[in-house]
Amino acid sequence: MTDQLVTPATEQASTTPTEADTTTIEVVDGPTLVRMFEGASGWLQHHVHTINALNVFPVPDGDTGTNMMATVQSAMQELRSKLREGEPVGDVANRMARGALMGARGNSGVILSQILRGFAKGLEGKQFVTTAEIAEAMSNASDAAYKAVMKPVEGTILTVVREAADAAKQHAHEKNVVKLFHEIVAAAKRAELKTPDLLPVLKEAGVTDSGGHGLWVFLDGALRNLRGETITTSEEANTGEVEHLTQSVGHPQSGDLLDQEWGYDIQYLIRGSNERPLDVDTIRDYINGIGDCALVVGDETLVKVHVHCPNPGPAIHYGAEQGIICDVVVENMDLQAQEFLQEEAPPQVAEAFGTVQTTHELTGVGIVVVAPGEGIAEIFRSLGVSDVVSGGQTMNPSTKDLLDAVEGVDADTVIVLPNNKNIILAAEQIIPLTEKRVHVLPTRTVPQGIAAVMSFNYAGALEENLEEMREAVAHVQTGEVTTAIRTTTIDGVSVNDGDIIGLLNGKLVVAESSPEAVVRAMLDRLELDEYEILTLYHGENVSPDEATAMMEALQESYSSLEVEVVRGGQPHYHYIFSVE
Amino acid sequence: MPKTVIVTDSTADLTADEINELGIHVVPMTVQLGSKVYQDDLKQPRERFFQMMAESTERPTTSSPSLATFREVYDAACGETDDIISIHLSGKLSDTVRRARQAAETMLGRCQIHVLDSEVTSVGQGILVKQAARMAREGAPVQEIIRTLRGMIDHIYVVFFVESLDFLEQGGRIGKAQALLGTMLNIKPMLILEEGEIEPLEKVRTRGRALDKLAEFVSEFGRIESLTIMHHQSTSDEIQSLIERIETARGESTPIFVAQYGPVLAAHIGPDALGIVVYEGLRENPWDW
């Protein structure tokens, strides 16, 4: 299978020494590191789509390239915001690491941020560094990456960083930083090419690891600028990020062919402050003027904006001028989604806020959850959670998004439910960043999160509650139904691009032609005697009528189960269901 | 010296045999269903009314006993004694205990009536009433009986789940459980009586899971003197299944009783609630657990 290995050949140029490698640089000072980072970040930005394309799983998932890029862009912003002349290399590395940590999204983004943090630790307090010190810092970086994950897996970004660090150590005697970096980058590529031999799932799909590839791209970009190339990161870091995210959350199967004529669905919250209260009417007037279907609700402390525009830039830019914006969701709509959104009435959410008492009001313990889709967010709010961060399969919130939500809860103790396997790590990063006591319960699906919130005991002590919630999570079966975005074979199931596929507790088990057939196939795999209730959360691309028809059909076949259907409003996933 | 006499209301869910044997006086509660009014005095069988409730589409309403009803019962009891202890359901759930106090004042000079808020109801209240009656029969002084009962109240736990919050909401007895209103998914809230008030514990999706939670609740006690399953119209299969879960959690040494909760409670929590009343017993030595 290795002959079919997908790894973009054109990018391998810098692994062969070139004329430019005769450049001799003996020390890296602050400005040099900034330049290297600029190259690394710009190169990553440039290759985000090829990195995303290496995603093995046929589900629209948190894209590795997008997540890594969002992470380094946050670092880049932090660097640019306070750039000063003659800044010591240690300080530059430190700010870079901090920026990356705050912006970390997805598992690959979190690991990359930890790599930068480990690297920065090695440079601490130094004005400039030599090759030996860089080699030392690379070892630190590798150790930090391994520590970031509970169960390190080889054949991933971890293998690549470790082998890159080993190469650095071997060549630490080398005086020229350019030569050292050349060795590091070459070792990273060799390690990346080895990943399919270490991780069967990669071999089966005929690709190298996307995170490993991303790290190689990152290191290669650093080397290129070190040698004198001038790769830059797009100046409008924010807009760039939004554009890339948008492309990844649109219809991934259409890739670059994304047609923009339907425009974007933009939603965000603006937080005002005492000094700068928000003027809802003025905001509404402006938003009305720039797009369709505008909805602006709220008060002087918090305003929710929802609008459809041909271009997301102005709406977001305007919001950011009014106050602090958060929970930004930008989606590229296809026609169907657009029609659907017009039918819906989002203000219900605001009402739900008022009536439900949150767990922190009643017990002093807050709960922050991540939810894909307004419907699911609303269900969580109705269960008394303190805050909902929007995100999920395709939009992994950053560490900072999660941190902001936690900081916003009026309680000293907060339980965080990531509800997605690719968000758990980012959530865990906030623990040392806040003075609040934060407990991350590693929920991997929305139904697990709902089960956990349900089992929160208002009279229970924190430890008991965490235990109860863990137990509840183990008790629920999750099914997820989506459309395959690539042709592949995973866990013995062969999948064609466009098939409807079913994941039972995160594992791909079935590929069929219709959502109903997929749900039935998954239900038939469960010992249904043990369960009493099936809850279907239908996605934004399923109409309430279709969902109801599905519910009725299932109710007829599975008469021993109580079948319930609720709008989840999640993107990409036709249905998420739980069996309890 | 004549013995102390015990009075309670019909929400104590005692059987006719228990009342006769222990010489307990019962103030009947009133339940109205449509145009029909039913007096629950624990002496007549409740089945007919339950049948009516099950067949009716209307929601039953309840009212606490009038002053006259109280006076009637107190009058009768006064003929037997100088000291009455009148034990009633939680003052946070009903006006009954306040009516009792008002009625007791009008009896001043004829006999001494001690009104006690049980802070619970149903089987929990019944445990207090039976204890009081037993002590009275053995000739315990009235103050000692009251002291004992006050001590027992903190050791009685009433935990139950309801099929939905509709009955509680409509009857206005929802208390802090209103925190659970507005939940968008169908849930079966687990509730507890805490200092006389209904408080939310957690939210459960299915009856099976609720049974697990009830068993889990009892598994946390070191010692249990009595454990009673409180239901209204649960199937014997469901009750058996709960008993099995409790036995798995605690071993078979704890005796388990089953009692049916009455029409007043059914009107307020619905006919499909299921719960457990635990009485830990009084510790003779605080270190002896």
pLDDT tens for each residue of A186-228: 999 999 999 999 998 888 888 899 999 999 999 999 999 999 8
B222: contact with A, CB 8 A cutoff: no
B92: contact with A, CB 8 A cutoff: no
pLDDT at B138 exceeding the cut of 90: yes
- B182 CA: distance to closest CA in chain A (Å): 6
Q: Which residue of A has its CA nearest to B193?
A: A459
B150: contact with A, CB 8 A cutoff: no
A382: nearest CB among B183, B194, B202 = B183
Average pLDDT over residues A172-177: 94
Is the dihedral angle over the CA atoms A459, A461, A464, A466 positive or is it negative? positive
Using a CB-CB cut-off of 8 Å, the residues of chain B touching A455 are 202-204
Sheet holding B197-204, edge to edge: B197-204, B188-194, B156-161, B274-279, B226-231, B256-260
Cβ-count burial of A310 within 10 angstroms (0-12 exposed, 13-18 middle, 19+ buried)? middle
Q: How confident is the model at residue A278 (pLDDT cuts 50, 70, 90)?
A: confident
Secondary structure (H, E, C), A129-194 = ECHHHHHHHHHHHHHHHHHHCCCCCCCCHHHHHHHHHHHHHHCCCCCCHHHHHHHHHHHHHHHHHH
B199: nearest CB among A379, A384, A458 = A458
Using a CB-CB cut-off of 8 Å, the residues of chain B touching A384 are 179
| pLDDT the model gives residue A247 | 31
Contact A580 B205 (CB under 8 A): yes
pTM for the full model? 0.73
Tokens of A74: 């946050």
C-alpha Rg value of chain A to the nearest Å: 24
Contact A362 B179 (CB under 8 A): yes
Average pLDDT over residues A420-425: 93
| pLDDT the model gives residue A246 | 30
pLDDT at A17 exceeding the cut of 70: no
| pLDDT the model gives residue B242 | 96
Q: How confident is the model at residue A22 (pLDDT cuts 50, 70, 90)?
A: low
pLDDT at B115 exceeding the cut of 90: yes
Which range has the top average pLDDT, A7-11, A484-488, A496-500?
A: A496-500
Supply the ipTM of this predicted assembly: 0.79
A475: contact with B, CB 8 A cutoff: yes
The whole-chain average pLDDT of chain A stands at: 84
Distances (CA, A) of B243 to B30, B230, B248, B254, B276: 32, 12, 9, 11, 11
* Rounded to 5°, angle at Cα B199 from B194 and B200: 140
Q: How confident is the model at residue A286 (pLDDT cuts 50, 70, 90)?
A: confident
| pLDDT the model gives residue A1 | 37
Q: Do residues A486 and A475 make contact, with C-beta atoms less than 8 angstroms apart? A: no
Contact A383 B205 (CB under 8 A): no
Phi, psi for residue A270 in degrees, rounded to 5: -110, 130
Tokens of A2: 């290795």
A455: contact with B, CB 8 A cutoff: yes
Using a CB-CB cut-off of 8 Å, the residues of chain B touching A531 are 206
| pLDDT the model gives residue A577 | 97
| pLDDT the model gives residue A11 | 46
B220: contact with A, CB 8 A cutoff: no
Average pLDDT over residues B5-22: 95
Q: Which residue of A has its CA nearest to B216?
A: A468
Look at the block and give the residue holding tokens 């209730």: A533
Cβ-count burial of B112 within 10 angstroms (0-12 exposed, 13-18 middle, 19+ buried)? middle
Using a CB-CB cut-off of 8 Å, the residues of chain B touching A379 are 184-185
Q: How confident is the model at residue A305 (pLDDT cuts 50, 70, 90)?
A: confident
Q: How confident is the model at residue B253 (pLDDT cuts 50, 70, 90)?
A: confident
Contact A457 B176 (CB under 8 A): no
pLDDT tens for each residue of A95-132: 999 899 888 888 889 899 999 999 999 999 999 999 99
The closest of A527, A484, A546 to A509, measured between CA atoms, is A484
Contact B205 A535 (CB under 8 A): yes
Using a CB-CB cut-off of 8 Å, the residues of chain A touching B202 are 454-458, 468
Using a CB-CB cut-off of 8 Å, the residues of chain A touching B187 are 454
Average pLDDT over residues B207-222: 92
Using a CB-CB cut-off of 8 Å, the residues of chain A touching B184 are 378-379, 382-383, 566
Contact B185 A379 (CB under 8 A): yes
Contact B203 A454 (CB under 8 A): yes
Using a CB-CB cut-off of 8 Å, the residues of chain A touching B205 are 451, 454, 532-533, 535, 580
Using a CB-CB cut-off of 8 Å, the residues of chain B touching A463 are none
| pLDDT the model gives residue A567 | 93
Tokens of A207: 């690709």
B249: contact with A, CB 8 A cutoff: no
Q: How confident is the model at residue A296 (pLDDT cuts 50, 70, 90)?
A: low
pLDDT tens for each residue of A337-350: 333 333 333 333 33
| pLDDT the model gives residue A261 | 43
Contact A532 B181 (CB under 8 A): no
Secondary structure (H, E, C), A344-404 = CCCCHHHHHHHHCCCHHHHHCEEEEEEECCHHHHHHHHHCCCCEEEECCCCCCCEHHHHHH
A580: contact with B, CB 8 A cutoff: yes
- Identify residue A330 by its one-letter amino acid code: V
| pLDDT the model gives residue A372 | 92
pLDDT at A55 exceeding the cut of 60: yes
| pLDDT the model gives residue B251 | 84
Q: Which residue of B has its CA nearest to A530?
A: B208
Sheet holding A264-271, edge to edge: A292-298, A302-309, A264-271, A324-332
Which range has the top average pLDDT, A56-65, A342-351, A482-491, B143-152?
A: B143-152
pLDDT tens for each residue of A232-269: 877 543 333 333 333 332 222 222 222 334 467 777 87
pLDDT tens for each residue of B58-99: 888 898 899 999 999 999 999 889 899 999 999 999 999 999
Contact B202 A454 (CB under 8 A): yes
Q: Which residue of B has its CA nearest to A377?
A: B184
Percent of chain A with pLDDT over 70: 86
pLDDT at A2 exceeding the cut of 50: no
A560: contact with B, CB 8 A cutoff: no
Residues 181-210, chain B, touching A (beta carbon < 8 A): 181-187, 192, 194, 199-209
Lowest mean pLDDT: which of A5-19, A341-355, B162-176? A341-355
Average pLDDT over residues A138-149: 92
Contact A458 B204 (CB under 8 A): no
B178: contact with A, CB 8 A cutoff: yes
B238: contact with A, CB 8 A cutoff: no
Average pLDDT over residues A154-174: 96
* Beta-bridge partners for A563: A534
Q: Which residue of B has its CA nearest to A378?
A: B184
- A479 CA: distance to closest CA in chain B (Å): 17
C-alpha span between A534 and B186 (Å, rounded): 11
| pLDDT the model gives residue A274 | 78
